[in-house]
Structure formats: C-alpha cells, structure tokens
C-alpha cells in the first residue's frame, strides 16, 4: 500500500510489518506494483517514465528508464523473475530480465 508518501507492508491480519518513505510518490493515486519471487518490489512511476526497484528492507536498488519506455502504468513479474512493463503511452509491453 502507498499512503502518505510511504510504502507499507501488512500482514494478513492487518499489522504493519515494515514501511519506508517514497518521497517522489506525492502524485500517485494507485501505482502499479509487483513483487518478484526473490522479494524485490517493483513500482511504476508513470509521471517520470521510470520503474523503481526496492530491496526487501526498503532500500532503492535501482531505477530504470529511457529507451522507448515513456509511461509505465502496469507491472507484472513471472515465476522466473522476468519483469513485464506496460507502457500506457506507446501501448507496448516491455519484458526485462534482471541479472544479478
């Protein structure tokens, strides 16, 4: 959940397990997010044309942008860890493979 410029992770019972600041998220109403099998969180930032990657502790691992991707509005991660990004402007699905 993204609330008050914070990303919060809840248990099944509704207890906050962890949270961290996302200062650039002030204009997000419902950001696209996906969690990879290894626990990394990916969040689309359509206004800046980026996808952010976070480690389980909330630290920013990396963000990526550029190329033909302009406005990422949807995300999914498959069991192999491939990241699918839907670009709302170009109406294209980009597929990325993360290398360690």
Tens of pLDDT, residues 10-34 = 889 999 888 877 766 655 556 788 9
Q: Within its chain, how far is the Cα of 17 from the centroid? A: 18
Q: Is 2-23+31-96 a CATH 3.30.420.40 domain?
A: no
Looking at residue 26, its pLDDT comes to 54
Domain boundaries, the chain: 2-23+31-96
Question: How is residue 4 annotated by DSSP?
Answer: T
Q: How many CB atoms lie within 10 A of CB 61?
A: 12
Helix (H/G/I), strand (E/B), else coil: 47: coil
Question: Is this prediction's pTM over 0.95?
Answer: no
Instruction: List Cβ neighbours of 53 (8 Å cut-off, separation of 6 or more).
Output: 40, 41, 42, 60, 61, 62, 63, 64
pLDDT tens across the length of the chain (100 residues): 455 777 777 889 999 888 877 766 655 556 788 988 888 889 888 888 889 888 888 787 788 876 788 999 999 999 998 999 999 999 999 999 877 6
């Amino acid at each position: 959940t993204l609330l008050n410029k914070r990303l919060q992770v809840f248990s099944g019972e509704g207890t906050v397990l962890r949270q961290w600041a996302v200062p650039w998220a002030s204009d997000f109403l419902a950001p696209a997010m996906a969690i990879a099998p290894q626990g990394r969180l990916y969040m689309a930032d359509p206004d800046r044309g980026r996808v952010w990657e976070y480690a389980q502790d909330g630290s920013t691992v990396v963000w990526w942008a550029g190329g033909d991707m302009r406005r990422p509005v949807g995300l999914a991660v498959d069991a192999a860890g491939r990241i699918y990004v839907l670009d709302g402007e170009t109406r294209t699905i980009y597929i990325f493979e993360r290398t360690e």
